[in-house]
Structure 1
Amino acid sequence: MKRTILFLIFSSFLLVNACGPKSPSENEILREEVIAVHDEVMPKMGNLKSLERRALEKVGELEKGSPQDSAKIQEYKALAYDLNHAHEAMFKWMRQYEPKDGEQSPEEIKQYLEEQMVLVSAVNVEMKEVLAKADELLN
């Protein structure tokens, strides 16, 4: 009887541990962090193009005005360029990002994800900076 109870307790323990939630690995956590950085600015992608159009419209308006506006025209052209560059940088990062691990070792996966964190963080910063610049110039 004692053996049966011990066997049932041990079996229950194994069953609970086998079916219970697994704690995420370091690489899974790193992958989630990379995606979180991406997800932070991804919703603003449409806004980049909208602001780029507004900057180019402003260029068109100023070009019809006086020649004194050439500095402002260049400023709005530079803003439009920066907005487009930030938009393209996000797409470039997304095209090269590999969500699957393939046949890589955990160390190779970690190195890849750390590199991706650097790249996506740079895109994140670029987008935030150009959006702030656009907000300042267009509003």
Structure 2
Amino acid sequence: MKNLIFLVTLLLFAACGTGKKETQANGAISVDSLKSEVLSIHDEVMPKMGELRRARKDLLFLADSLMETDAERAAMLTTVADEIDAANESMMQWMRAYESEFEGTDEEIRQYLEDQKVAIQKVKDDMLGSLKKGKKVLED
């Protein structure tokens, strides 16, 4: 009986240790780690979607109210609102295109995730940049 318990315990420890390491022998980041980085960037900016939509709505409302008295400022506000809309849409497009269960060789998966990391970082930069610009314009 003791041998059976020991064997089961040994098998459990062995099963727990079969996951992919964070860094592989050649120094490359693991697929799991890359996937985690991609999703972390997404999760960081996803909550800003509501804030983006609110800022866009506020900009368009202000632009509409200024249309007859200050057409130049109204046009600028509309342009910033369009930038916010484009950033919001880029997140939506990225989410629709992202394949969480992408299949291929380890190298193909790694390349896919590297590409997705670059893409979602650009989405993040666009979202945060346009939101910052929108807030600044609304404060002026």
TM-score normalised according to structure 1 size: 0.83
Give the Å deviation of 1:48.
Answer: 1.1
Residues 65-84 of structure 1 aligned to structure 2 (within 5 Å): 65=69, 69-84=70-85
- When the two chains are superposed, the root-mean-square deviation of aligned CA atoms in Å is 2.1
Alpha-carbon distance in structure 1 between the residues aligned to 2:115 and 2:127: 19
Question: Are 1:49 and 2:22 an aligned pair?
Answer: no
Deviations 1:57-104 (A, max 9, x none): 111110132xxx2321121011110010011000000000000033x1
Give secondary structure in 2 for the equivalent of 1:28.
helix
Equivalences, count: 130
Task: Detail structure 1 runs of 4+ shifted over 2 Å in the superposition.
Answer: 10-17, 19-25
Instruction: Give the aligned partner of residue 59 of structure 1.
Output: 63
Alpha-carbon distance in structure 1 between the residues aligned to 2:40 and 2:114: 14
Unmatched 5+ stretches in structure 1: none
Determine which structure has more spread, i.e. the larger CA radius of gyration: 1
Name the one with the larger helix percent: 1
Q: Percent identity?
A: 34
Matched residue type, 2:106: P
Alpha-carbon distance in structure 1 between the residues aligned to 2:47 and 2:78: 24
Higher RCO by CA contacts (8 Å cutoff, separation 6 or greater) = 1
